[in-house]
Every structure is written in structure tokens, then in C-alpha cells.
Amino acid sequence: MSDRSSVCVLIPTLNEAATIGSVIEGFQTEGFESILVIDGGSEDDTQSIAEDLGATVIEQSGSGKGAAVVEAVEHIDTRHVLMIDGDGTYLPAQADRLLEPLVDGPADHVIGDRFADMEPDAMSRLNRFGNRQINRLFRLIHKHELHDILSGYRAFTTDSFERLNLSSTGFGIEAEMTGEALRHGQRIEEVPITYKRRPDMSDTKLHPVRDGAVILSTIYLIARMNNPLAFFGSVGILGIITGVLIGLYVGYRWFFVGISHEVLAVVSSFFIIFGFLLVMFGVLSDMIVSLHKEQRQRIDRLENLLDREE
Ligand SMILES: Nc1nc2c(ncn2[C@@H]2O[C@H](COP(=O)(O)OP(=O)(O)OP(=O)(O)O)[C@@H](O)[C@H]2O)c(=O)[nH]1
Ligand SMILES: [Mg+2]
């Protein structure tokens, strides 16, 4: 069992009265004393239940899970943070699985992989499909083998979290944390966990279509920083393909029908030139990112050396 005193359990909540009590008690049974609930202004008894059990409760100043997590970490002064949803879908008894790679091993950020052991109806078909596609896209962009980047059960060092540039206020936060951690060269590990379904009397806060779109646009924006070639290149190649298709049509009409389409020919050239420019821009940005990464690794090494000497 890892040392509990270096860990703060962080629980973002919004109307989770049905489950918050058992989540907190679960962690107390496991020996955790520092439990911080960051509440989004629940209209049920979430806050009072948590307070009665001895947890620290803060009401967030803005709104959204992402904003809540960022605000909460500012209040934390332990070395490690264990983050979990308040909806009883994750098991406090599996805390050590997430903490061990952090406390004993080399990891900076540990993600609980829900797909390792998921109750059959824990995720709707739409959510499961969306999750899988999002993970696939993320792997494609980052070339890093992760399978559940949107998991809400994770552990990280407070230090490593503070280095991330996070701007997602809502459910984009998990994707952004993962992408940012990779961009900063942090060591991410995935461990298998159990994912249970929400109890009947509690309501999800996730809107699959709206939040799915937010998450996808977050991933695309992170790609701009981590893999600009994919970001600009994909749009560029789309432009080139569009231009070539229009060009083929113009050529066909000219050769076989004898009609010339000057305006379309100009549009086609525009798309092709614009596409090439974007791809070139992507290649150049990619070089800048690589150089920047090298410099940052050097700075990180120096920082670590200085830390050790102090
Ligand atoms: N502080 C705060 N917490 C929030 C907010 N929105 C959601 N949460 C909490 O964030 C956690 C995750 O939200 P869920 O609705 O469970 O989202 P999910 O796990 O992706 O979806 P489910 O599959 O339905 O469980 C829960 O503990 C929510 O209570 C918010 O605006 N502010
Ligand atoms: Mg949940």
C-alpha cells in the first residue's frame, strides 16, 4: 500500500448526492485522509453529505468539470493528486493501481483504462463507439499507445499538472490533460481498472453529441501544438484533393465536350496552391516543434539537476 499522506483525493461533483457519500467512505476505508470535493453548485445534498463525512468542500467559482479541476489543484499542496468522479462508477479500492506507478515508478501521469474491465451497460453504445473513435484519432495524431484518454480516474504529480496549459472548462479536460502531458514529455502510464454503471437514481452530466463535438475540437486544437503536420497537412491535403477533382472535371469538359470553364480552372488552381502552402506550413511548424521539444528537454534536465542540488 502506497503512502497515503502524500496524496489528495480530488472529486469534482455536480448533483451527486446519491453516490458521493459512498465514494468518500470508500477512500476513508482505504486510509486516505485528504479528500477535496470541488462542487459545481449542486442543488441537492452533495455538499453537506461530503462535509459531514469530513471532506473539504469548495464551491467552484466558474462552471464546468474542467474549470473545477484546474481551480481545485490550486488548493492542493500534497505531492500527488488522485482524481475521480463522484458518481460511483470507479472503485476507491483500486486506488493503488493508479498510485503505484506514480509513487514507486517513473510515471508523472497515470490513467485508469476503463475498457480493461467494463460492466456491460456502464457505457451506452454511442458513448462506447465515440470513445473508441476518439482514442483511435488520438493515437493517430500522437503516435502514442493509449486506449482511454477520456477516463475520469487518474493520478498525477501536482508538479506535472502545474506545467500543463489547460483551457478546457468542460468535458474536454481529460483529452487536454493527456495531450498536454505528452507535449511536455511527461511519462504517462495506463493501468487497467473497473468501470461500473451509474446507479439508477443519479443523472449523467454528459451530452454525448454536444460534449463529443467539444472533445473532438479540443483534440484537433491540441494537434496544432503537438503534431502541426497532421493539423495543417490534413486540411492542406483536403484542399489539394478538392482542387485536383475540380481540375479533372475542367479537363474532361475541355477535352471531350469542348467547353472551357475558366472560373473553375482558377478555383481549382487556388485550391491546389493553397493546399500545398498549408502542407509546407505544416512541415515547417513540425520542425519548429521538434527543435522546441529538444530545448525544453534540455531545460527540464537542468531544472531537475538544480532541484537535486538544492
Ligand atoms: N465541479 C463540477 N463537477 C462536474 C461538473 N459537471 C460534471 N461534474 C462532475 O464530473 C464527474 C463526471 O461527470 P459525469 O456526468 O459522470 O460524466 P461521465 O463520467 O463522462 O458520464 P457518465 O458515463 O454518465 O458517468 C461527475 O462527478 C460530475 O458530478 C461541473 O460543472 N462542475
Ligand atoms: Mg461518470
pLDDT tens for residues 85-113?
999 999 999 999 999 999 887 899 999 99
Distance from Cα 300 to the centre of ligand 1, integer Å: 34
Q: How much distance in Å is there from the Cα of 89 to the middle of ligand 2? A: 6
Q: Distance between CA atoms of 91 and 26, rounded to whole angstroms?
A: 8
Q: What distance in Å separates the CA atoms of residue 181 and residue 236, rounded to the nearest whole number? A: 27
Q: To the nearest whole number, what is the mean pLDDT of the chain? A: 93
pLDDT class for 297, splitting at 50, 70, 90? confident
User: Per-residue confidence at 299, pLDDT binned at 50, 70, 90?
Assistant: confident
Return the ligand number nearest the Cα of 11.
1
Can you tell me which atom of ligand 1 is nearest the CA of 123? 23
Ligand 1 atom with the smallest distance to the CA of 38 is: 1
As a 3-state breakdown, the chain gives helix, strand, coil percent values, each rounded to 5, of 55, 15, 30
Q: Which protein residue has the closest C-alpha to ligand 1 atom 9?
A: 13
Q: Is the CB of 202 under 6 A from ligand 1?
A: no
Ligand number, closest to the Cα atom of 16:
1
Residue 272: is its pLDDT beyond 90?
A: yes
Pocket flag, ligand 1, residue 206 (CB < 6 Å):
yes
pLDDT (tens digit per residue) in 209-224: 899 999 998 998 888 8
Residue nearest to atom 22 of ligand 1 (CA): 204
Question: For residue 40, which phi and psi values (nearest 5 degrees)?
Answer: -90, 25
Confidence of residue 190 (pLDDT cuts 50, 70, 90): very high
CA nearest 156: which of 112, 218, 113? 112
The beta strands (E) that lie in the chain are given as 7-13, 35-39, 56-59, 80-83, 109-118, 154-157, 188-195
Is the beta carbon of 7 within 6 A of some atom in ligand 1?
A: no
SS3 of residue 53 by DSSP? coil
Contacts of 190 (CB under 8 A, 6+ apart): 110, 111, 112, 113, 146, 147, 148
User: Considering the entire predicted model, what is its pTM?
Assistant: 0.86
Nearest alpha carbon, ligand 1 atom 25: 204
* Cα 239 from Cα 291, distance rounded (Å): 28
**232, HSE (Cβ side, Cα atoms, 13 Å):** 18
Which ligand 1 atom sits closest to the C-alpha of 124?
Answer: 23
Specify the residue with its C-alpha closest to ligand 1, atom 23. 123
Ligand 1 contacts CB of residue 211 (under 6 A): no
* Size of the chain, expressed as the number of residues it contains: 310
Neighbours of ion ligand 2 (CB under 5 A): 85, 87, 89
| Residue 223 confidence (pLDDT) | 87
Give every strand in the sheet of 80-83, ordered side by side.
Answer: 56-59, 35-39, 7-13, 80-83, 154-157, 109-118, 188-195
Crossing angle of helices 173-183 and 65-73, rounded to 10°: 50
- Nearest ligand atom owner, CA of 169: 1
**172 CA → ligand 1 middle, Å:** 12
DSSP class of residue 39 equals E
| Span 226-230, average pLDDT | 89
